[in-house]
Amino acid sequence: MAAGDSFYITTPIFYVNDVPHIGHAYTEVASDVLARWHRQRGDDTWLLTGTDEHGQKILRTAVANDTSPQAWADTLVESAWKPLLATIDIHNDDFIRTTDERHEKAVTIFLQKLYDDGHIYSGEYEGYYCVGCEEYKQLDDLMETPDGDYAGQLVCKIHGRPIEILKEKNYFFRMSAFQQQLLDLYANQPDFVQPASVRNEIVSFVSAGLNDLSISRSSFDWGIKVPWDDSHVVYVWFDALLNYVTAVGYGVDDAQFQRRWPAVHIVGKDIARFHAVIWPAMLMAAGLEVPRAVFGHGWLLVGGEKMSKSKLTGIAPNEITDTFGSDAFRYYFLSAITFGQDGSFSWEDLSARYQAELANGFGNLASRVIAMVTRYFDGAIPVAEPDAAILAVAKKATDAANRAIDAFAINEALSATWQLVDALNGYITEREPWALAKDPADRGKLEVVLATAVRGLGTLAVLLSPVLTKATEKLWASLGGTGAIDAQPIDRAWEWTGGPSVTPLDGTLFPRIEAEAPAE
Ligand code: MSP
């Protein structure tokens, strides 16, 4: 991508039936890092997140809590979902709620267009429904449980809860008509669905044949009314997927829509099918461009299972950030897990990586270098030609990290950057600036070592700014960087020359954690 291009990236919108856990936060952080990276490259970037508030799941939760679904959603959004963004330091450009008037209005416009163009018909539906997934299920998606509370019943493989049998008059979207167009899309744009494991699953799913999709419900009324029949509300997924276009002006602000759309969607692999099959079919029917890409990331596992509140394995993000801080949260999940694969969370692994990589690897490097410049040069950054080998590592790390981001390989971007952390630590150990400082005859050598080290730190501050937002801001101030750290061109991080002087760091970037981590 050329700098200045539009880069519109979205997170899934989150169900407000419960409070966030670290699985939700993981999706947010990954999307935020990609957005920050593109912003720092000068792209016309827009990060959208929000909440999914209609449907039976929310309605039932509200009723169980003796309140209305709107009041329930309002409370959860304000007390849990918006605060999550501050907890993990998300820089979103917009927050959409499916109960926003702008959304409801544009959904109505979209639906009416599909109806007028003959893509919708009324019919009879009979089938299995999982309220947890808010999805109609095929037998393949279900299993019989041998024991436990639901012994002998058919349960959803994802939620482990019994499904319901629905029989209703519904409106249907002629999704089957788009089978070939979808297969052509996957063939012509091989990176439309990523990673390959998710792509393969999607291609084989669509190759097996597509059914039409029931897109309305009449047995309850918590949803957007179908414009031509107000005894029906729009199926929650049909409503939810549209947030990606209603938030950027679909149907009401053409200039904004043209500027932003199409988007890159970051989603968990469990909801990739909705995004890579139903959603592009809906867009095709409306004559709109399909998304630029759908990336399905893996699950955070606890005890080998997908973490979830309903299975009581959920961990709240602030349980981690209260002790380790938001930078460590962001770094840990993105560096320890290959983006696109499942990963297990453990407190031990988090603590060990915090100590080894952030505190000892990066934080200590910054403290030592700044302290030495302060002590030996009174804070004035020595002016000397930096070491060519280290400079080459910095250039390689910058290029490799930027390439990795284009391939959604966030963990690779971090490991490429860590090559520079390790190279700088090795360089300092080998050159022993504290020994050079003892002999005035070595002054020139000392200047080169510290000029090189400071230059490397500047590169690291710029390259790590999308992930370690707070530590790099601190480091940048201490290095005397001009302008905001997140405005430094990230594709030229290695060119940073900095100076003229450092000021001592206010404490360390990653303090020692004395407190016991909460028990698992
Ligand atoms: N409301 C729908 C999405 C609609 S998008 C038009 C939804 N919401 S959700 O709150 O259940 O999930 C939101 C996201 O969190 C999904 O991408 C899901 O994959 C992700 N995660 C939920 N549990 C997770 C883990 N244990 N690990 C990683 N991500 C997980 O689905």
Q: Which CATH number is 379's domain given?
A: 1.10.730.10
Per-residue model confidence as pLDDT tens digits over 329-340: 999 999 999 999
Residue 433 lies in a domain: yes
CB 82 within 8 A of CB 45: no
Per-residue model confidence as pLDDT tens digits over 189-219: 999 999 999 999 999 999 999 999 999 999 8
Provide φ and ψ at 14, rounded to 5°: -95, 140
Counting every residue, how long is the chain? 520
Expressed as residue numbers, the domain containing 352 is 346-495
Q: Quote the number of domains for the chain.
A: 1
Mutate to test the pocket of ligand 1, among 21, 24, 279 (most ligand atoms within 8 A of CB): 24
Q: Of 472, 479, 471, which is closest to residue 502 (Cα–Cα)? A: 479
* Known active-site residue 159: yes
The two tokens of residue 121 are: 């018909």
* Known active-site residue 169: no
CB 316 within 8 A of CB 21: yes
* Known active-site residue 91: no
Per-residue model confidence as pLDDT tens digits over 40-79: 999 999 999 999 999 999 999 999 999 999 999 999 999 9
Q: Terminus-to-terminus CA distance in the chain, angstroms?
A: 43
* Known active-site residue 130: yes
Residue 436 lies in a domain: yes
Report whether residue 307 contacts ligand 1, using a CB cutoff of 6 Å: yes
DSSP 8-state class, residue 342? -
Q: Of 281, 258, 245, 266, which is closest to residue 103 (Cα–Cα)? A: 245
The two tokens of residue 97 are: 């709620």
Give the distance (Å) from ligand 1 centre to CA of residue 270. 8
* Known active-site residue 265: no
Per-residue model confidence as pLDDT tens digits over 374-403: 999 999 999 999 999 999 999 999 999 999
Per-residue model confidence as pLDDT tens digits over 79-98: 999 999 999 999 999 999 99
Give the distance (Å) from ligand 1 centre to CA of residue 300. 11
For the segment 496-511, the average pLDDT, to the nearest whole number, is 90
Residue 356 lies in a domain: yes
Q: What is the pLDDT of residue 406?
A: 97
Residue 90 lies in a domain: no
Mutate to test the pocket of ligand 1, among 270, 294, 344 (most ligand atoms within 8 A of CB): 270
Residue 366 lies in a domain: yes
Residue 37 lies in a domain: no
Residue 61 lies in a domain: no
Residue 502 lies in a domain: no
Report whether residue 240 contacts ligand 1, using a CB cutoff of 6 Å: yes
For the segment 120-139, the average pLDDT, to the nearest whole number, is 88
Answer whether residue 520 shows pLDDT above 50.
Answer: no
